[in-house]
């Protein structure tokens, strides 16, 4: 290990590498596919199914499809923002500032009675979007953990410091 490596290199921050990981790539692909699938359903089969519903079920359909669409647009915004980090178009710090515009709090589920009124495919899309939202929230919390929450000194740094001090004493 060179002296420059031992002295100049700080710890590799997991949060900075996460946007470039395979886990993020898979999440991005899944999220964008869910957005496309939902749009296709709502413009096609969902529209036909909604016309067959009674008044209360149609109201529930309209409400929940709007909530689903809003949730997915927020998730897509978050995913696209972090893809920009991955592509080097912005730093994680810039993404952290921009992500304040993205609302990841849109995860409340309708009550069971309302969910029973909905077509099965819409219910499935809602469930999948909520699962994706949970995973994105966890990833977001990991990636954007405040620096004050990160360990300032780790055991390896302490041991390297002790070794350096020991060798410096011997050299005198």
pLDDT in tens, the chain (172 residues): 444 444 455 544 445 566 667 888 899 999 999 999 999 999 999 999 999 999 999 999 999 999 999 999 999 999 999 899 888 898 888 888 888 889 888 678 889 999 999 999 999 999 999 999 999 998 888 877 765 554 556 677 777 777 777 666 655 5
Domain that holds residue 30: 16-171
- Whether 68 is covered by a domain: the verdict is yes
- Whether 151 is covered by a domain: the verdict is yes
- Whether 2 is covered by a domain: the verdict is no
- Whether 4 is covered by a domain: the verdict is no
- Whether 1 is covered by a domain: the verdict is no
Cα–Cα distance, 63 to 57 (Å, whole number): 10
pTM for the full model? 0.74
Domain total in the chain: 1
- Whether 54 is covered by a domain: the verdict is yes
- Whether 9 is covered by a domain: the verdict is no
CATH number of the CATH domain containing 123:
1.10.8.930
- Whether 5 is covered by a domain: the verdict is no
């Amino acid at each position: 290990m060179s002296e420059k490596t031992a002295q100049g290199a700080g710890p590799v921050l997991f949060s900075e590498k996460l946007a470039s990981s395979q886990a993020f790539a898979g999440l991005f692909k899944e999220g964008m596919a869910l957005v496309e699938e939902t749009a296709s359903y709502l413009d096609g089969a969902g529209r036909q199914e909604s016309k067959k519903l009674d008044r209360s079920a149609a109201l529930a359909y309209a409400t929940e499809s709007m909530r689903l669409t809003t949730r997915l647009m927020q998730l897509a915004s978050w995913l696209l923002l972090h893809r920009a980090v991955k592509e080097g178009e912005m730093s994680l710090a810039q993404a952290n500032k921009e992500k304040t515009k993205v609302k990841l709090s849109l995860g409340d589920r309708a009550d069971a009675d309302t969910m029973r009124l909905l077509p099965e495919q819409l219910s499935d899309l809602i469930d999948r979007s909520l699962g994706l939202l949970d995973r994105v929230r966890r990833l977001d919390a990991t990636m954007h953990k405040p620096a004050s929450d990160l360990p300032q000194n780790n055991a390896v740094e302490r041991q390297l410091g002790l070794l350096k001090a020991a060798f410096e004493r011997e050299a005198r």
